[in-house]
Structure 1
Amino acid sequence: MVTRGLICASVMAGESTDILAAVSSVAALADVIEIRLDGLRDPRIASCIASLPKPVLVTNRPTWEGGRFTGSEKERIDLLCQALQWGARYVDIELLAAPDLRARIQRKAKKHGAQVIISNHDFQGTPNAEHLRATLQQMTSSGADIGKIVTTAASPEDALRILSLQEVAMAAHFPLSAFAMGAHGAISRLATLYLGGFMTYAALSPEQATAPGQITVQNLYTLLSLLEQNP
C-alpha cells in the first residue's frame, strides 16, 4: 500500500451556498476542503462547515500574502476564530502575521481540537536552500502543528529545491506541505505527496484555481490512480 499525503480541494467562492454546490462533485476525491474566507461576501459559514462531508480548513489570506482580505488584522483573525468555533478542523495563519495574533489562533485551535497550519508563500521565486531551511526552522519553533511553504518555480532546479525541504522536515518529525507554484512547479504538487508532504492543494476546475499552476482535483486523482494501480 502506497503511503501519501492528503488532497485538499481549495474553494474560492462568493457565497457559502456556491461552496456546497461546487464541492459536491469532488468531495469523494478530496481528504480536506479548504474554504477561502477572503473570497466570501459573507464569511458566516457555520452551516456550510456543518454540511460538508470532509474536514474543513479555513484560510483568510490577506492581500499582503496574495489573498483578497483587505480589512484589519484583528478582523481577519476574528473570522478565523469564529470558523474554529463553527467546527473547522484546520486553520491557516501566515508565518509573517504578528506573533500575538498567531498565538491567539493557536490557543483557539487547541481549545476546539483543531490543528494550526503556519504558512509562507513566495510569489516571486524560490529562495536558496539556506533561506528555505531558516523559514522551516521558524515554523517548527513557532509551535505550528503543520507547516506550509510554497514558492514560485522558474526552473526544474527550483522545484527540486523546494521538494528537498521535505527531507529536512521528516528528519525533524514535522508535518510539512512544500511545493512550488507556476508551470515548472506543477510536478512538485504531485511529487510532494509521495515524498513526505503532508498535503497538496487542488482546484475544483482550471477556472477556479486559487494559485498559479494548481492542478484540478479530478486530474490529480487520475494521476494518483495511475501511480497507485497494482501491477
Structure 2
Amino acid sequence: MARGMICVSLAEKNAASLQKAVAPVLEMVDLIEVRLDCMEEPQVADFIAATDKPVLVTNRPAWEGGQWQGSESERAELLVEALDWGARYVDIELLAAKEIRAMILAKAKAVGGQVVISSHDFATTPASSVLEDRLEQMMESGADIAKIVVTAHDAAQCLRILSLQEKAMARNFPLSAFAMGSAGTISRLATLYLGGCMSYAALSPEQATAPGQLSVQELHAMLPVFSK
C-alpha cells in the first residue's frame, strides 16, 4: 500500500548538531524539517548541501506556536535564504501577511522549490465547514502543499480532520492533515495511508516538537503492518 512521506522534525540549537542528530534515523525518513525558530544561529546552508534527503525549512512564529521572536520581515528573509541554500520545501503560515506569502511563493517558483502553507490549532478541532474553508484558502493561495493540524480531544475530532483528506484527494491536491494531542496520535499514522502527503515525527519522544508526536522509531515500527 502506498503511503505518504515521513518527515523528521529537527529542533536543534545550532547547525553543527543537525547532522549528528539526524544520522541515526536518516534511512527511516523521506525528508527533514529544520526548525529555524529553535536555532540560536539559523544558518543551515552547509547542512542542506551535505544531506541527500530533501529539506523542509520552517521558521515558526510565536503566534503560531513556534519560538521565533523577531520581526516578520526577518523571518521571511530567512525562508527566502533557505530556498537559495537549496531547501526543497519551505513552510509559511496561512495567517502570515499576504505580501510575505507572495514573496516566498515567488521565490520558490523561481528556484524550483515548493511551499507548504500551514495552519495549526492548538486548542481544538474546528467544524468541518471551517476546515474545508481553510483548505480552500490554501489551494487558492498558490500553495504546493497544504498542512492543516488541529488538536483532537476525542475520536470524533480525530475522524473529522482525517476526513478532510477526501476533499483534497477529490481535487488532487497534496494535503498533510492530522491531529495533535493524545487522542490524535493515531491520526499521525493513519494519514500516511489515507492519502496524506506527509506526517511529522520526532527524533525521540523527549524531542517531540508538538503534542502527541510519535518518534521516527515508533512510527517506522508500525509501517510493516500496512506495507504488505
User: Contact 1:4 / 1:193 at 8 angstroms: preserved in 2?
Assistant: yes
How many residue pairs get matched? 228
2:113 corresponds in structure 1 to 114
Give the whole-Å Cα distance in 2 for the aligned partners of 1:225 and 1:49. 30
For 2:71, the aligned partner's letter is S
User: Contact 1:27 / 1:53 at 8 angstroms: preserved in 2?
Assistant: no
SS state of the match for residue 164, structure 1? Answer: helix
Give the whole-Å Cα distance in 1 for the aligned partners of 2:42 and 2:112. 21
More moved, 44-53 vs 118-127: 44-53
Following TM superposition, where does structure 1 have runs of at least 4 consecutive aligned residues deviating by more than 4 angstroms?
A: none
1:200 corresponds in structure 2 to 199
Identity in percent: 59
1:123 corresponds in structure 2 to 122
Compute the displacement of 1:226 (Å).
2.5
1:22 corresponds in structure 2 to 21
Give the whole-Å Cα distance in 2 for the aligned partners of 1:79 and 1:3. 34
SS state of the match for residue 124, structure 1? Answer: coil
Give the whole-Å Cα distance in 2 for the aligned partners of 1:32 and 1:227. 20
User: Contact 1:179 / 1:188 at 8 angstroms: preserved in 2?
Assistant: yes
Give the whole-Å Cα distance in 1 for the aligned partners of 2:60 and 2:52. 24
Compute the displacement of 1:70 (Å).
0.3
For 1:22, the aligned partner's letter is A
Kindly report the root-mean-square deviation, in angstroms, between the aligned alpha carbons of the 2 structures.
0.6
Compute the displacement of 1:112 (Å).
1.1
If the length of structure 2 is used for normalisation, what is the TM-score?
0.99
For 1:111, the aligned partner's letter is A
SS state of the match for residue 26, structure 1? Answer: helix
For 2:171, the aligned partner's letter is A
Give the whole-Å Cα distance in 1 for the aligned partners of 2:226 and 2:96. 38
The gaps in structure 1 that reach 5 residues or longer are none
The gaps in structure 2 that reach 5 residues or longer are none
SS state of the match for residue 96, structure 2? Answer: coil
What are the superposed Cα offsets for residues 59-107 of structure 1, whole Å, 9 maximum, x if unpaired? 0000000000000000000000101100000000000000110000001
Give the whole-Å Cα distance in 2 for the aligned partners of 1:78 and 1:171. 35
Compute the displacement of 1:17 (Å).
1.2
1:7 corresponds in structure 2 to 6
